[in-house]
Every structure is written in C-alpha cells, then in structure tokens.
Amino acid sequence: MRFMRKSRDFRLEPGGDPMGGVANLFDTAVVFIAALLLALLTYYDARVFSKDAEVTIVKKDARNEMTVIRKKGRRIKAVRVTPEQAAGRGTRLGTAYRLEDGSVIYVPEE
C-alpha cells in the first residue's frame, strides 16, 4: 500500500508550469518540419538553379490567362498567353498514355 500511495502523490513545484514540456515538444516539431522543408527544397531546386538546366513552367491564373516561364541556361523568359492566342487549328500527331507508375509515353501516328 505504501508504494501505491507514493506513486499517486504528484505535486508541482510552487509556480511551476504543468504545460511547459508541451511547449518544448512543439518547438522541436517546428524545427524538424523546417529542416524537412529545407531539405526538400534543396533537393528539388538544386537541379532548377543549375547553370545548364532547361525548365518550362506553365501557370494559369483565375482569369484563364496562361503564363509560360522558360529557363534555358541563365536566361529566364516569361510570356503571357491568352486563350485566343493559344487557340487554332492543327493536325493530330499521336497519342499520349499515362502509365500506372505516373510516367507518360507518347506514341506518334504513322
């Protein structure tokens, strides 16, 4: 009985904060998340910011206008394209298939 009585006797120091340990856990989680984001950005952006990289990004805003951003070497060029400029006639060149693993295969028509 003495053991049970002793283990249930939780007392705080005068002026102690019972939630002080939770704040330390939150700070640790924030530091871990920031380090993980930094590692991910470093991994993916290292290829984009290299001297020889060629990257094309297409953005579409709420007004249905597209912006094509092309980076070739050290030169970056942005062009705004409206739906009227992008519309037109053309011929079908082939078919693109997305596989289960996420890769895309283009099959030209003969």
Mind listing the pLDDT tens digit for each residue in 73-108? 888 899 988 777 777 777 888 898 999 998 888 888
Show the tokens assigned to 15: 């002026």
C-alpha distances out from residue 80 to 10, 75, 85, Å: 67, 17, 10
Q: What CA–CA distance (Å, rounded) separates 69 from 66?
A: 10
Q: What sign does the dihedral 66-72-73-79 (CA atoms) show?
A: negative
pLDDT tens, position by position, 11-67: 555 666 677 667 788 889 999 999 999 988 887 766 666 777 788 888 888 887 889
Does the predicted model carry a pTM greater than 0.75?
Answer: no
